[in-house]
Structure 1
Amino acid sequence: MLLWFLSVVVAVMVCEGLGRDCDDFTDLGFHDSFIGTKLKVKILLYTKDNIDCGDEVSHHNLTSAPMFNLTRRTTFVIHGYRPTGAPPVWMGKIVRQLISQDDMNVLVVDWNRGAANINYLIAVTNTKKTAENITSFIQVMQANGASLSSIHMIGVSLGAHISGFVGANFKGQIGRITALDPAGPMFTGTPPEDRLDPTDAQFIDVLHTDMDALGFRKPLGHIDFYANGGADQPGCPRTIFSGKEYFVCDHQRSVFLFLCSLNKTCNITAYPCTSYTDFLDGKCMNCDTFKPAPCPTFGYYISEWRDTILRLNQTKAFFSTNADPPYCRTNYLVDIVPWNKPIRWGVITIKMHSGEDVAEAKIDHKAAKFEKYKGTTLLAQFDKHLQTVQKISLQFSTQNVVGPRYKLRVLRIQIRPLESSDGPGLCRYDIILEENVDVSFRPLPCEKSDF
């Protein structure tokens, strides 16, 4: 808290020493959105020396912002549609977290006077005009020695397509574009020149969180991440009676997941796969195409896998999250060899215990088939990570409301961690599972012969 206070004091002192107040993001209201406003683009500079005090940069004279050091890398942050006219709630967080990663320039593109309009079509029209404005600004940066490859553009919703238009103006020489749930309405079905596409930058990573409503469904980058399949996000309301959150929660989750990757509260491992169903079925867990690197980690640090991703040309990757921060789940592969002669169909719930701490995984997206002596492999996604596991509980269910209660006899179960090297995994042998009854046991380290 003290460090934060001192940073604010220093930022204010710097701004006061330069004889100017902090420049703020344009704050409009619903009245402005209703009557409409004329597009005006402001570019606000933030650095380690003014992390909480924006400094508006002249489009034509960069010396108007003495803290703008073009030898540093530069990250543009571009917001999307603002129907209420209010500033994005996440803007200050993303600025601070970016600067905490590296000594960089963060340029917030404030085009709120073009995005705040109840008529979405007008905001869409203003995206290309905003892109032209940013293009002219970058040309001035180039004239003063900046390198296009050192520029990273982070665009949210409509901001993702603005980033693409800017990148296209520089014939794909911008270093990186991160697109957070690119807008779908008015862009779906359009040609590449009218939206973001993989030729707009040297490297493009995309996150999809609301592809069935406000977001874009198809891949748009070199790697496209689909959180929870890319549509409905856990914890977001499912009925219109929840008000505004019903419309924005899935869409806005893209920003909060990216923030999670910046503050390193958890590393979200993503798995290249053809579909979310195959991912949930545990068919895409080995990342063979990414050798010698492991499966990629979603978010800010995905550039570490850049060379492999570019070699693969265009990759879709999937992951699942929890409903609340820090969002990440811990993935295990579960191999079950049943003994029952009759084939059983059902779902499995696994709980890991460490003292009073419990991590749970419900493998219930579809009924699994358990056939005598034939191994069944399942993906178990636990809601938290436990350093040590003292006890495991299993429950088998056919999910039948009426009818007999079945048993499932398991000759062997193996539970193997996917994202850590916590040894060879956990095993147990010869267990009888009564339907809808928790069966607990102390796990044993697996032998090499089990694999």
Structure 2
Amino acid sequence: MLRLYFLLSLMCLVRSDTGETCPSFTKLSFHSAVVGTGLNVKLMLYTRRNPTCAQAINSTVLGNLNVTKKTAFVVHGFRPTGSPPVWIEDLVEGLLSVEDMNVVIVDWNRGATTVMYNHASSKTRKVATVLKEFIDLMLAEGTSLDDIYMIGVSLGAHIAGFVGKMYDGQLGRITGLDPAGPLFNGKPPEDRLDPRDAQFVDVIHSDTDALGYKKPLGNIDFYPNGGLDQPGCPKTIFGGMQYFKCDHQRSVYLYLSSLRENCAITAYPCDSYRDYRNGKCVNCGISQTEPCPVLGYYADNWKDYLREGDPPMIKAFFDTDEEKPFCIYHYFVDIITWNKNIRRGSITIKLKDKAGNTTESKINHEPATFQKYHQVSLLARFNQDLDKVAAISLVFSTGSVIGPRYKLRILRMKLRSLGHPERPQLCRYDLVLVENVETVFQPILCPKLQM
């Protein structure tokens, strides 16, 4: 026990080469935000050698930074209360878990902490200049620009862009996590993040109607849930501070989910969120072998599919669950009806496996039109992926509260997985759905001619 206590004591006293005991992110108070703070940029290095105790580095001291490995710079944004970002530790841990790299936290809390957003915004180019001085030292010691990866959150995304411009777009990669919109919307490329600022620029837009940038800024721009209100975030001001920041921060948590092995969020290149929801954009390329882009850390695996002649900025849409890890699983529900008259309405589909696990999808974003002998393909989104479906239930609704109950006569229903096209497709024939009444049935394997 005494040896254990001694060992723990030594671990707590671990010091960086500068003599500082485990440098931490600057903590300031709301009072500091009110009176304002002058700019001071701190750089803190984490590696697999020191994953929890940072090492202070600067433009003259590289410390334990290995110039032969990838270096990820994490740059935060506006801090109106002075508190450290709550996601920093998770992001450092996640990045080091997926790759042996250098992770540099760029702490410019002194400068970002102010109640005057424009004051923080005005310091972004100065932060970029400090980072360039440090990267110049790295280059002098043998680092390649290909190995520089900048992850910028809100204002930090534009800081990353400014650094990229200083190197004529030769940085390896920039990821923008909901780049700041106020004071940047409508600005020319030289005054904001731009797809030419790195060899590959990917952006997640999660709050385009408030704190985030509205239009595309990267080689590929991801719009979760259309880029607007995120599921699970407060819808009214009664949600407190979360009402103001939840949508904006969701981009960070979606990126974090990509660092976990159990969640690979697939996105679908599309002209609009509506087209995506209507199932018009599930083929991600010309060939069937071309994969769909995935969100987050591994998004750059898709850069080889950005062909010449493509639009310089690809928009990709997807939906998420309201809780971590946010993954949604996509299926097509193909329905052929034999009603004499046209029926318009929505479908709710529920899946159940032999273990009793259930998952449900309400396809009600806009009414579907069912015509006799016409196939309607509906994109269903589930928060669980059931490998073997034992039972399916369907509910048809026209949305009418009063009036007669309509019937939807189904000639054939087919369920097929988009994420796992190799799975058997499931069918059912000759069903009659009474409006607002759940119909449960056991599916059968579709004939191979339909597969």
- TM-score grouping bracket, smaller chain normalisation: over 0.9
1:115 equivalent to 2:108? Answer: no
Q: Could you give the per-residue CA deviations for residues 87-130 of structure 1, whole angstroms, max 9, x where no partner exists?
A: 00000100011011111000000000011000000000011110
1:127 equivalent to 2:124? Answer: yes
Q: Could you give the per-residue CA deviations for residues 158-217 of structure 1, whole angstroms, max 9, x where no partner exists?
A: 000000000001000000000000000000011000000011000000000000000011
Q: Distance in 2 between matches of 1:418 and 1:129?
A: 46
Structure 1 residue 290, shift from structure 2 partner: 6.5
Show the counterpart of 1:77. 74
Structure 1 unaligned spans of 5+: 1-6
Q: Distance in 2 between matches of 1:50 and 1:25?
A: 16
Show the counterpart of 2:201. 204
Q: Distance in 2 between matches of 1:90 and 1:105?
A: 18
Show the counterpart of 2:334. 335
Q: Distance in 2 between matches of 1:291 and 1:210?
A: 32
Q: Could you give the per-residue CA deviations for residues 255-279 of structure 1, whole angstroms, max 9, x where no partner exists?
A: 0000000122311110010000000
Q: Distance in 1 between matches of 2:396 and 2:9?
A: 59
Identical aligned residues as a percent: 53
Q: Which amino acid aligns with 1:241?
A: F
**SS of equivalent residue, structure 2 residue 33:** helix
| 1:11–1:316 Cα change, 3 Å | farther
**SS of equivalent residue, structure 2 residue 306:** helix
Q: Distance in 2 between matches of 1:202 and 1:310?
A: 14
Show the counterpart of 1:402. 402
Greater helix proportion: 1
Structure 1 residue 14, shift from structure 2 partner: 5.4
Q: Any conservation in 2 of the 1:42–1:110 contact (CA below 8 Å)?
A: yes
Structure 1 residue 10, shift from structure 2 partner: 8.9
Structure 1 residue 293, shift from structure 2 partner: 2.4
Structure 1 residue 310, shift from structure 2 partner: 5.7
Q: Distance in 1 between matches of 2:318 and 2:23?
A: 39
Q: Distance in 2 between matches of 1:294 and 1:372?
A: 35
Show the counterpart of 1:52. 52
Which stretch shows the higher mean deviation, 9-18 or 402-411? 9-18
Candidates 237, 261, 265, aligned match of 1:264: 261
Show the counterpart of 1:4. none
Q: Distance in 1 between matches of 2:194 and 2:58?
A: 30
| 1:314–1:393 Cα change, 3 Å | same
**SS of equivalent residue, structure 2 residue 217:** coil
Q: Could you give the per-residue CA deviations for residues 265-307 of structure 1, whole angstroms, max 9, x where no partner exists?
A: 3111100100000000000011134653211111111111111
Q: Which amino acid aligns with 1:60?
A: T
Q: Any conservation in 1 of the 2:14–2:22 contact (CA below 8 Å)?
A: no
Q: Distance in 2 between matches of 1:135 and 1:10?
A: 36
Q: Distance in 2 between matches of 1:161 and 1:346?
A: 44
Structure 1 residue 423, shift from structure 2 partner: 2.2
What are the equivalent positions in structure 2 for 1:176-325 lying under 5 Å apart?
A: 176-289=173-286, 292-309=289-306, 311=308, 312=310, 313-325=312-324
Q: Distance in 2 between matches of 1:205 and 1:229?
A: 16
Q: TM-score, normalised by structure 1?
A: 0.95
Structure 1 residue 401, shift from structure 2 partner: 1.1
Show the counterpart of 1:15. 15
**SS of equivalent residue, structure 2 residue 326:** coil
Q: Distance in 2 between matches of 1:192 and 1:344?
A: 49
Structure 2 unaligned spans of 5+: 1-6
Structure 1 residue 316, shift from structure 2 partner: 0.5
Show the counterpart of 2:346. 347
Q: Which amino acid aligns with 2:334?
A: D
Taking only aligned residues, the RMSD between alpha carbons, in angstroms, comes to 1.8
What are the equivalent positions in structure 2 for 1:27-176 lying under 5 Å apart?
A: 27-62=27-62, 65=63, 67-176=64-173
Q: Could you give the per-residue CA deviations for residues 285-338 of structure 1, whole angstroms, max 9, x where no partner exists?
A: 111346532111111111111111364332110000010011111100111000
Q: Could you give the per-residue CA deviations for residues 214-250 of structure 1, whole angstroms, max 9, x where no partner exists?
A: 0011100000000000010001111112110000000
Q: Any conservation in 2 of the 1:73–1:105 contact (CA below 8 Å)?
A: yes
